[in-house]
Amino acid sequence: MGRPGWRVPPQPVASSTMPLVVQKYGGTSVGDAERMRAVADHVARTRRQGNDVVVVVSAMGKTTDDLLRLAGDVSSVQPPRELDMLLTAGERVSMAVLCMALAELDVEAMSFTGSQAGIITDTSHTRAKILEVRGDRLREALAQGRVPVVAGFQGVSTERDVTTLGRGGSDTTAVALAAALGADACEIYTDVTGVFSADPRIVPRARRLPRVSFEEMLDIAASGGRVLALRSVEFARNHQVPLHVRSSFTWEPGTWVDEEEPSMEQAVVTAVTHDTSEAKVTVVRVPDKPGLAARLFRALADAQINVDTIVQNTSVHGTTDISFTVPKTDLRNSLQVCRDLAGEIGAGEVAADDAIAKVSLVGAGMRSYPGISATMFQTLADRGINIEMISTSTIRITCVVRSDRVEEAVQALHAAFELDS
């Protein structure tokens, strides 16, 4: 995994001797007026305890989904630049309202859009990558004794257009700011008390993990555990920013995500994750000749489509079927690219299936422990859950199953690997 582009070394806030904490509050945490006041209270308390605080906020509640729905209701054509302009409005509301709640508590705060905070990104609208963080205005505000409140999930491109960082991107904003400002801690406040052994909404008996290594968290995030955005974990690992994931409802200590110590006891399976955000594409009867798979996946990559699990069948009569998964949001594009190419290379039809889901086991101990896949496949087989695709990495095994069976699969695997509390 490449080191995210990043040109400016951390410049700690020189004029202050107080520890600096970056606190990120997710959508539910700032979901209504009462929640805003609770967050303001906590920020004020953190200050009273002798810390400088930089706050990063998400859009309130389901605002981002609502704005996306609005866009869909208005038009089937959504230019990415305009989509970004629309979605960044959500975080703008949160930051201004939180500053008002802080003003009432006599905490001097100041809101900043991503652009004002100096978050410079590339030009890929709706999934922009941070290139640089120029945090001067935040440092100035801190030096003046203020609490900067930054709109998460957004930046400004090298072409001076407003961009967004992909769903869940406020986590990435927080980690990038923590790295750039040399913060002492980066706290991710959310609606659960930490990172669990499975999504607690699906497995009520899931356990909170007191500590998770960056390595495992990367695989948990990549395989659907949406509690932290994948990009934010990559950033945290590359810049050695320890994260503390915790609840803004109970404020109790949560999960630390940091570098693993050699002595740390490794569980065989740490978490069971699932992901319903992908769809399967199958290109049938691809001529079995060198270079055709390369052409197919090059064309998809050129269209900025992130292909995940890939399966190629054994060739029969000189052709083979190739299946792969893509984010549902890229499905239309993927079909277009594949259909264009199928014509050129003499392949058959291109089929889409959006009723799939992935279930994964993640655990650093898996690499030195045989038999995990056998137990996983048997557990699914015992429930009559058919496995359609399989992919593995050193610390993860993923199976593609029917989406209407995925919750049952997660629960069964969680029990089979004795993760239930």
Alpha carbon distance 155, 281 (integer Å): 32
SS3 369: coil
Q: Which of 118, 168, 169, 363 binds ligand ADP (CB under 6 A)?
A: 168
Q: Which of 118, 155, 168, 254 binds Mg ion (CB under 5 A)?
A: 168
Alpha carbon distance 211, 189 (integer Å): 16
152 binds, among Mg ion, ligand ASP, ligand ADP, none (CB under 5 to 8 A by kind): ligand ASP
Do 21 and 256 form a contact (C-beta atoms < 8 A)?
no
**Residue 39 φ/ψ, nearest 5 degrees:** -65, -45
Here the tokens at position 344 are 């050129």
Residues in 50-79 that interact with ligand ADP by CB under 6 A: 58
Q: Please say whether the dihedral angle defined by the alpha carbons of residues 399, 403, 406 and 408, taken in this order, is positive or negative.
A: negative
Considering the rule CB under 6 A, would residue 225 count as an interface residue with ligand ASP?
no
- Residue 124 corresponds to which amino acid? S
- State which residue, 247 or 266, has the beta carbon closest to ligand ASP: 247
Considering the rule CB under 5 A, would residue 90 count as an interface residue with Mg ion?
no
What is each CA distance from 314 to 84, 89, 120, 286, 350, in whole angstroms?
43, 50, 46, 11, 18
H or E element that contains 218:
helix 214-222
Window contacting ligand ASP (CB under 6 A); options: 58-66, 104-112, 192-200, 342-350: 58-66
What character string, x for contact with ligand ADP (CB under 6 A) and - otherwise, covers 258-297?
-------------x--------------------------
Considering the rule CB under 6 A, would residue 155 count as an interface residue with ligand ASP?
no
Number of residues that bind ligand ADP (CB under 6 A): 19
What character string, x for contact with ligand ASP (CB under 6 A) and - otherwise, covers 75-94?
---------------x----
What character string, x for contact with Mg ion (CB under 5 A) and - otherwise, covers 3-42?
-----------------------x----------------
Q: For residues 336, 339, 344 and 347, what is the CA-based torsion angle, rounded to 10 degrees?
A: 160
What character string, x for contact with ligand ASP (CB under 6 A) and - otherwise, covers 167-196?
xxxxx-------------------------
Considering the rule CB under 6 A, would residue 28 count as an interface residue with ligand ADP?
yes
Do 412 and 380 form a contact (C-beta atoms < 8 A)?
yes
**Residue 342, number of CB atoms within 10 A of its CB:** 18
Residues making contact with ligand ADP (CB under 6 A): 26-29, 58, 168, 190-192, 195-196, 198-201, 225-227, 271
